[in-house]
A and B are shown apart, each in its own frame.
Chain A
């Protein structure tokens, strides 16, 4: 039995199961929870690899049909079916992968009814749609030969074979190049070494080269997998052709860079320049050199090395154009999350499994390779005497694959980080103490942009000492005026004001549970003792602010609710002082004169140097004040 196939399938199934769990998470919780995409990098690895590289990798289909049907090279007959199958599965994978990336994937059909012919993406979308259909029609005679029932359909399809091939080549020419046109609109973002007005042409030439090498690579891999004799002679011919196409690509690319005067960028020592040189070496220069040597070209090892370099080099190229080299312009640091990578791998693995399935069932090759786990499926039979179903359940024949799939599916769910999904991407910004003396400068995150708060003035207008709890609505034990920042600890996310660990420790560790949680009941926050059962002075008697579950709302919310609601009320009471409720009254770039004087009077000692108020030079103000006096 062939262990290579079995192990490969086990690995592929486990990746598919893993990706399945992540895929479900993506649709349940959205893009923000599963990807590292940002507003500055809206296209990530799902576009760069799944779509851009995926379409390019599927170029083998149109290249081989062109070689076989148009240029009439009959010797490549054995490559046609595998290459068309690869292309078909490749396009299905691209469309399937795109569904994960689209924000509203159920609207993908909108491209058919809402037209915008100016958009390169519109054209790519249509071409991919049509070409996938063409590939389906090109490939479907193969499974149809398995049964004589559909012989008529098959005959009709075979009749239209040539027009289909022609249409396929025409469509491929268009969208392989149009994938390059997508990026013509981003001259300011894409690095000049990759940006070029002839991007469509470069994409097309490289797709042809990649198509040739993809046929070779796929032949090498599948023959290795099924322990068959590699088709060395034919691959050698492909390699020879690839040398020509790659050389044209190299010359055009270098000429383009030379003519646009960006030559020096290749050697300026930036990471992009190294990336570019690496990409050119892997995808073009080294394969050209390798395949120019006849000894390398005809050896299986040489073919392996050369073709995989082109394949991975061109994937690299598509990822570079697809967003990697825009990071300097956007100032972003995008690294794909492991969930993005998993989905990408999962889609590729599913396509590989489908390929293996097809190769074992249909006449892709002259003789079908046998699946080691294959047993013909017989439906279970209901036995009326014992009242049980007899026979093997459908999945039992492939117990190992099913087991691996389910296990990795479960593992995938177990590994999904709950914090990323729950936090909804909110940044944790800790709040710090408001600065100042009597006049406070309230800017919780210390970004020098905040609100000036005249403490004495507020006490005077709100009713002297009794008014403290109007703002200090909940205090730490033994305190009468706890600072806002002590409970509202985060700028934008709520804080649990109750410190569970501290209470447990203070009451004696594990034996302390029952002091708050009643015996015999579930230990939950709802059933436990309330804070003010012990801390009698925690909540002032007549305070206007309700405390719910001892969860402190975000600092920003708390401040706005407290200040704005009061100021709005005051503004209505004093009809001539509408300004009281305007944002400008507090968020000022330049505080009014009296407040300046107030600040200069009260700011002294250790706080003085720390206070920065936009638009006010405090030292100058203070000196001026002294002079006046």
Chain B
């Protein structure tokens, strides 16, 4: 079983309690807008942010903790890993700073300590240490509106569909994160379209690691094949 977070956009009032709690729990520094930040509020010091959209819509942005994360599949040293519990966590001891995870993420989530001489990748880890102590993530715990809730992924999906069924006129009939890029552990239901959270509004249901898997599978064949082809041309096989 894996855990997940469900955020109901219709309930969020944009109070930023989640952002504040995240900062406290993860010992993040003061948030200062830097020239290298993308204008979505996320930064090395801000692992979750609240975007404001016209008409009092507040959308909390955070790592989606994909079921098959692109970042973890491309990390050459396995510094990013998908845990069986659900969160995608980061091991700074292993990281070599290639930033391939930042390039690969379809949601543009991982951030970098650009101003540090010893920089690390920064992103939400779903308060993994709190989960292990049996607590829930700080953001879901403090939410005064219960707009973002924590639980088992299956139960939250059921809850999401239940809410949509209850108020079909309010919600768009879609759970963001149910199938996107193979499913994510952070789900959204909303009354406005959330396509802007990803680089492509409809990223499809294929997990991104599948795109490189075929090429990576071909590697040993290409290696042996090329060697064989070369030996053949030199006439090494003709002797027999």
* Interface set of A (CB-CB < 8 Å, partner B): 27-33, 36-40, 42-43, 66, 69-72, 101-105, 107-108, 110-111, 114-123, 125, 166-167, 169-171, 173-174, 177-178, 181-182, 184-189, 197, 200, 329-332, 424-427, 429, 449, 491-493, 554, 556-557, 582-584, 587-590, 614-615
Contacts and interface: CB of A to CB of B under 8 A. Distances in A.
A42 B99 contact: yes
A49 B37 CA distance: 23
Interface of B: 13-17, 20, 30, 32-38, 42-43, 52, 56, 58, 70, 73-79, 94-100, 102-104, 106, 108, 111-120, 144, 198-200, 203, 208-209, 211-216, 218-219, 222-224, 226-227, 230-231, 233-234
Nearest to A112: B77
A210 to B, nearest CB: 18
B198 A425 contact: no
Of the candidates A72, A119, A170, A583, the one having the most CB atoms from chain B within 10 angstroms of its own CB is A119
Contacts, number: 234
B49 to A, nearest CB: 12
Of the candidates A121, A556, A588, the one having the most CB atoms from chain B within 10 angstroms of its own CB is A121
A101 B17 CA distance: 36
B98 A102 contact: yes
Contacts of B94: 107, 110, 114
Contact of B230 (A70, A116, A123): A70
Contact of A121 (B100, B115, B231): B100
A103 B33 contact: no
B211 to A, nearest CB: 4
6 tightest Cβ-Cβ pairs between the two chains A and B: A103-B97, A32-B114, A188-B199, A122-B76, A42-B99, A107-B96
A119 B74 contact: yes
B39 to A, nearest CB: 9
Contacts of B231: 166
Nearest to B101: A42
Contact of B108 (A39, A43, A119): A39
Contacts of A122: 76-77
6 contacts: A108-B96, A174-B219, A181-B215, A197-B211, A583-B15, A583-B16
A557 B30 contact: yes
Contacts of B120: 103-104
Contacts of B77: 107, 110-111, 114-116, 122
Given A200-B215, A330-B199, A104 B118 contact: yes
B76 A111 contact: yes
Given A173-B226, A426-B32, A587-B15, A188 B96 contact: no
A152 to B, nearest CB: 27
B13 A590 contact: yes
A116 to B, nearest CB: 4
A28 to B, nearest CB: 7
B15 A589 contact: yes
A30 B114 contact: yes
Contacts of B20: 583
Contacts of A493: 32
Contact of B34 (A27, A177, A424): A424
Contacts of B74: 118-121, 182, 185
A71 B231 CA distance: 10
A122 B216 CA distance: 10
B230 A166 contact: yes
A557 B29 CA distance: 12
Contacts of B223: 170-171, 173-174
Contacts of A169: 226-227, 230
A178 B17 CA distance: 45
Contacts of B42: 39
Contacts of B119: 30-31, 103-104
Contacts of A330: 38, 108, 199
Contact of A30 (B38, B73, B116): B116
Of the candidates A37, A169, A173, A329, the one having the most CB atoms from chain B within 10 angstroms of its own CB is A173
Nearest to A493: B32
Nearest to B96: A107
Nearest to B70: A185
A43 B110 CA distance: 13
Nearest to B114: A32
B212 A492 contact: no
A330 B37 CA distance: 12
Nearest to B213: A118
B76 A116 contact: yes
Contact of B111 (A29, A39, A425, A589): A39
Contacts of A116: 73, 75-78
B33 to A, nearest CB: 5
Of the candidates B20, B34, B75, B227, the one having the most CB atoms from chain A within 10 angstroms of its own CB is B34
Contacts of B104: 185-186
Contacts of B113: 103
B36 A174 contact: no
Contacts of B56: 589, 614-615
A268 to B, nearest CB: 18
Contacts of B37: 38-39
B119 to A, nearest CB: 4
A114 B216 contact: no
Contact of A31 (B17, B114, B216): B114
B216 A118 contact: yes
A185 B211 contact: yes
A178 B215 CA distance: 8
Contacts of A118: 73-74, 209, 212-213, 216
Contacts of A181: 212, 215-216
